[in-house]
Chains A and B, each alone.
Chain A
């Protein structure tokens, strides 16, 4: 039974108006490209080129290592310079392949475009795997894993997550306005595997134009329908999305497939469409450059591997000195401390904020106001969990449901005492989940770290 919304959640400043009207601009980078070997959940890919090798656009340069892994492809043509550690956006050094860009963009040979009726489950999964498609909504689970469920007939709903709840991000919105057919086709491809499923395009209620567009395009398809959901953060989170659409609940020990659903992000669906229909590997993604300090907030189609410095330069730079530069949105993003890091498959936005939008917050003691309890979409009591972790009582932390925390940030957002609830609770949860003895069944979702 659908609800159109969920308990809890917050309404942060939207920030989408500044970048939602302008069309996506494609950028061809000129500088060197850096490809981390791990841009996904699972084992890092293994390089299959060595320094000095010439590469073409679309050529696989690192092969997936095992099933829970994804391959990496060159997004430019040029020569491999070196394979070794390089700084990435989260501040750590990772193994990367660095390629010198010759600017010519010579491509590999692409076989002929397929049609939908030529596909079966095996070809779809193989194409998606070979293209290195990962879940681009932020998690990075290799996409073929979701398609490879043991019993495809158990899936009732293929959900397209078109609710972009993170503030400032409009990449999915522009994608849907400009290329809705690709999104819908990606969903249809998934539904080829899950023959019993119905497809749902879940759209935020404020994007009425997208709903209308989708409805027009799916009018003749009895298997797909469009649902409008109430605008609230984090409506795009997996558990809340499934609940609002189908009324089914999911806890952190379960996977969506356990309750007959799969959830895919808009960018992932388009990547699946490209991979399956035209054999194109994952080469580009849409990145929103936004924020009050950005000179020209808009969306860019960016080649994966491009340096963030070059992206910001081509995007017009900053209109004033930013107080904070983020990889991702302000609710779930991370701070960038160096601009010489690459855009990866999981980079959704670069947000540059002024001081008044992200002011320094001084933590004061908890007043037991209860706003965090009302904000938590997973029905937890964050102040209690915070208390438990301050007292280092892991047993109480587990008993109060700490492992259920999905790290949405609603509690920290709502807290008038500006306590860093979400980050600390989620960090404790991540630490505990790696211990199978205490985590029990929760360790099953270790893959989603």
Chain B
């Protein structure tokens, strides 16, 4: 009867747990935390960045490094000054920094990366209260700062063998563009937004690992394509649609920046509307306001501002509610 007890540890007289043991249920969690999600994002961005660096040379690598480091340093400095503790530990600042690096033209001066990353993080994230509280995408904010300050340099995509004009600008000027070049990224573009194949591969990786969902990208794609077909003056021509979709950082922004958690809605319906708004706004800015390369910058930031509104107005009805239509209220007897 007692033989099994020799093999086992004695039952303690008093149960003592290590300090910090939770007493709050549930006592098990998913294996991924915010840091592992950010880690997967980082991997995807590094893959894309690797392609960009391969194509555009060592200066592109320098830009990416400087932007990443500046973003992390800026957030660390801000949280130290504001007494907020070590928030860079969840790697989200590094992700935003690298993302800014990837949306820079490949030959801009290094201080652009520093200014853009630091400015974007501070204005687009820290001032709002940190992760989850920001209304606008930090990397895109950084790019907006740079466009406002250095408009001409930010529109110049020259680097090595590549000319200063991107495929999208070629298209608007009426020249033809090689779709094969566009797909493989053999064109003048920002560091990370040129190679469509890499972007799609990274997006598939993120979709399969559950980091992003298909809702926003799909609705964005559909609405943008519809707008382009309807108002693009080129009808269904696949060459035109392809360059519009692949050029101007649209796919990169759609899959990797519009799906950013803090700035997108949480409800399913809200996400669909968000994607639709982004697609429509980008198309409108390109077609009617003449912005080609930087349409996504403005349209993403504007769409970001609608996220909280969409959330509040697409709150799901709690399960089993009987009241039709409008807002849920606590039912009282007799009402």
Contacts and interface: CB of A to CB of B under 8 A. Distances in A.
B200 to A, nearest CB: 23
A93 to B, nearest CB: 17
SS of B interface (majority): loop
B303 to A, nearest CB: 15
Contact of A369 (B28, B261, B322): B261
Nearest to B322: A251
A313 interface: yes
A365 interface: yes
Interface stretch (B12-20, B99-107, B140-148): B12-20
B152 interface: no
Interface string B90-103: 10100000000000
Interface in A221-248: 239, 243
Interface in A331-360: 331-339, 353, 357-358, 360
A416 interface: yes
A252 B319 CA distance: 9
Interface residues of B, number: 60
Interface string A354-394: 00011011001111111001100111110110000000000
A292 to B, nearest CB: 12
Contacts of B87: 365
A185 interface: no
A52 to B, nearest CB: 30
B22 A360 contact: yes
A326 B36 CA distance: 28
A337 B15 contact: yes
Interface string A404-439: 100001001111111010110000000000000011
A324 interface: yes
B175 interface: no
Contact of B26 (A254, A370, A413): A413
A251 B9 contact: no
A409 B25 contact: yes
B82 interface: no
A326 B14 CA distance: 15
B37 A416 contact: yes
A365 B318 CA distance: 25
A325 interface: yes
Contact of B330 (A167, A370, A398): A398
B34 A373 contact: no
Contact of B319 (A10, A316, A377, A416): A377
Specify the main secondary structure of chain A where it touches its partner. loop
Contacts of A321: 9
A320 interface: yes
B29 interface: yes
Contacts of B320: 239, 249-252, 254, 378, 404
Contacts of B268: 373-374
A250 B10 CA distance: 47
Contacts of B83: none
Contacts of A130: none
B174 interface: no
Given A295-B7, A337-B15, A377-B319, A416 B33 contact: yes
A319 interface: yes
Contact of B333 (A252, A369, A414, A441): A441
A317 B10 CA distance: 7
Contact of A440 (B10, B26, B267, B331): B331
A317 B8 contact: yes
A312 B11 contact: yes
Contacts of A196: none
Contacts of B289: none
B237 interface: no
B233 interface: no
Nearest to B308: A368
B161 interface: no
Nearest to B262: A368
A403 interface: yes
Interface string A121-156: 000000000000000000000000000000000000
B24 A384 contact: no
B328 A401 contact: yes
Given A326-B27, A379-B319, A398-B330, A317 B132 contact: no
A158 to B, nearest CB: 20
A239 B33 contact: no
Nearest to A294: B8
Contacts of B8: 295, 316-319
Nearest to B266: A370
A409 B28 CA distance: 10
B238 interface: no
Contacts of A28: none
Contacts of A110: none
B197 interface: no
A331 B26 contact: yes
Contacts of A337: 15, 17
B28 A440 contact: no
A441 B335 CA distance: 10
Interface string A242-283: 010000011111100000000000000000000000000000
B319 A249 contact: yes
Nearest to A427: B24
Contacts of A400: 315, 328
B25 A414 contact: no
Nearest to A91: B23
Given A250-B320, A251-B319, A384-B315, A413 B29 contact: yes
Contacts of B321: 251, 401
Interface string B245-281: 0000000000000000110111110010000000000
Contacts of A373: 266-268, 316
A330 B18 contact: no
A440 B17 contact: no
Contact of B27 (A7, A333, A339): A333
A296 interface: yes
A370 B315 CA distance: 12
Contacts of B15: 325, 336-339
Contacts of B261: 367-370
Contacts of A384: 311, 315
A442 B329 CA distance: 12
Interface string A288-320: 000000011000000000000100110011111
B327 A399 contact: yes
A109 interface: no
B28 A167 contact: yes
A420 B90 CA distance: 18
10 contacts: A249-B320, A318-B8, A321-B9, A330-B26, A358-B27, A368-B261, A368-B266, A380-B318, A412-B26, A417-B34
Given A312-B11, A417-B33, 5 more contacts: A12-B28, A318-B11, A324-B22, A339-B15, A361-B22
Interface of A: 7, 10, 12-13, 167, 239, 243, 249-254, 295-296, 309, 312-313, 316-321, 323-326, 330-339, 353, 357-358, 360-361, 364-370, 373-374, 377-381, 383-384, 398-401, 403-404, 409, 412-418, 420, 422-423, 438-442
